[in-house]
Amino acid sequence: MRFRGKKTCGRIDYVVNAAGIALKHPGWAGAAFCPTPDFQRVVDVNVNGTFHVSREAARIMLDQEPILSEGNGRPLQRGSIINFGSIQGLVGITLSTAYTTTKHAVIGLTRTASEDYAARGLRINAICPGYTETPMTTKNPEVLRAMEERVATAVPMERMGKASEIADGVLCMAGGRSSFVTGSVLMVDGGYTCR
């Protein structure tokens, strides 16, 4: 895998690792009956994909000249990597073994890699969305109804998030105004994980 961004733009200031998939277990079988190929597919996309993109981005960013952050007197930085976790990176949800496992792994990868490169001006953080209105979550009426019922009882803000609200969190983590933030997990979940 090779990034083309540096060749096209001259440098890479931030990378957002947002790819991810989820597969529910068939029926009400639970973790003991999660098919191995399904589990491996979710691991390959959510963990291995995040690792490979982060690794390639870090190699480029560590090799480029640091730039000044926004604001007076802030230290030089080489870049920012934002990995997508999920509320399921902190809590378990039934019939979702593979997805929950991978989102815990993304948080672990983020925290470990951030320590590796913090002193060299590379920041690595995670953003963990909660229940969010997207084409994937709203296309199936049964799934949408189940989400709305869950949100009504489990999310203090009593609504799903909007994709633009998740994007605002990404912009916050990517920008120079968060120059002293690394290894952090930003929960954008309407308060779901505060309970």
Domain ranges for the chain, please list them.
5-12+30-190
Within 13 A of 149's CA, how many CA atoms are on the CB side?
Answer: 6
The one-letter amino acid code at 122 reads: L
What pLDDT shows up at residue 2? Answer: 61
**Structure-block tokens of residue 97:** 């073994």
CA distances to 16, 46, 68, 73, 185 from 50, rounded to whole Å, are 10, 6, 27, 32, 15
Is 14 marked active-site?
no
What pLDDT shows up at residue 150? Answer: 93
Rounded CA-CA distance 122/119 in Å is 8
Residue 195 CB contacts under 8 Å (≥ 6 apart), including other chains:
154, 156
What pLDDT shows up at residue 71? Answer: 67
The one-letter amino acid code at 79 reads: G
Q: Which CATH number fits domain 5-12+30-190: 3.40.50.300, 1.10.760.10, 3.40.50.720, 2.60.120.620?
A: 3.40.50.720
Tell whether pTM > 0.85.
yes
Active-site hit among 99, 117, 131, 192: 99
Is 117 marked active-site?
no
DSSP state of 47: I
In the numeric block, the tokens 């920012």 are attached to 80
Tens of pLDDT, residue by residue, the chain (195 residues): 566 666 676 789 999 999 899 887 776 678 888 889 999 999 999 999 999 999 999 999 999 999 887 667 788 899 999 999 999 999 988 888 999 999 999 999 999 999 999 999 999 999 999 999 998 788 989 889 989 999 999 999 999 999 999 999 999 999 988 999 999 999 999 999 998
What pLDDT shows up at residue 62? Answer: 97
What pLDDT shows up at residue 151? Answer: 96
Active-site hit among 7, 24, 103, 139: 103
At residue 89, the 3 state secondary structure works out as helix
The one-letter amino acid code at 68 reads: L
CA distances to 58, 75, 106, 127, 188 from 165, rounded to whole Å, are 26, 28, 21, 11, 8
